[in-house]
Amino acid sequence: MSGKKLMSYLGENKVFSNYKMNEEKKQADMKLGLESEDECLPIFREMFDKHLCKTDHYSFMDYISPKTYIELKTRNCKSDAFNTIMIGKNKVEFSLKSKRKCILAWRFTDGIFYYIVNKKDIESGDVFYAMGGRSDRGIDERKMVAYIKKELLIKLSTPSLLDPLAENHI
């Protein structure tokens, strides 16, 4: 297993830790996400905004147009695996401040789902903040995240483009 030692800063808790990152797992996850971004672009153009463009790898959101931002997370599980869906708190806060429509999207093994960020859901508690994240890549990647109740997600139904996203495709 290859890896590199690094110092990580974990969110608002200001916890510093030395870990050995599983670089192979990280690269595989990144490759999956980037491929998914390419495959989903025509779907998002058809469903949300024909002017969407994919941003570069280091941009804050994955797609942009004059009217819309979209962030895509690709997951290797079904949409009903958890009661809530997790995304960085910073993505929700950015979306609340933006003048553009902000869509958070997840590509699960059983389809693409999305959520349009709005203040009402935070005020009602349907979207809430807590520590969360992952540690399966050999490093503690927990930080403050937003949890969105899965009932708020809307499943995309795109007959002309959905076939390549079949469960065995991811």
- What is the extent of the structural domain holding 19? 3-165
Q: Which two tokens stand for residue 78?
A: 């079904």
CB distance 84 to 148 below 8 Å: yes
DSSP structure class, residue 31:
H
- Give pTM, 2 decimals: 0.77
What per-residue confidence (pLDDT) applies to 143?
86
Residue 132 domain flag: yes
Residue 55 domain flag: yes
Residue 170 domain flag: no
Banded pLDDT at 2 (limits 50, 70, 90): very low
d(CA 82, CA 149) in angstroms, rounded, equals 9
- pLDDT greater at residue 113 or residue 15: 113
Residue 56 domain flag: yes
- pLDDT greater at residue 29 or residue 36: 36
* Residue labelled with tokens 């958070």: 104
CA 101 to chain CA mean position, Å: 16
Residue 115 domain flag: yes
CB distance 73 to 103 below 8 Å: no
Count of C-beta atoms within a 10 Å radius of residue 133: 14
- Number of domain units in the chain: 1
- pLDDT greater at residue 26 or residue 68: 68
Banded pLDDT at 54 (limits 50, 70, 90): very high
Rounded to the nearest integer, the mean pLDDT of the chain is 82
Residue 146 domain flag: yes
* Residue labelled with tokens 């870990």: 19
What per-residue confidence (pLDDT) applies to 21?
57
Residue 66 domain flag: yes
DSSP structure class, residue 103:
E
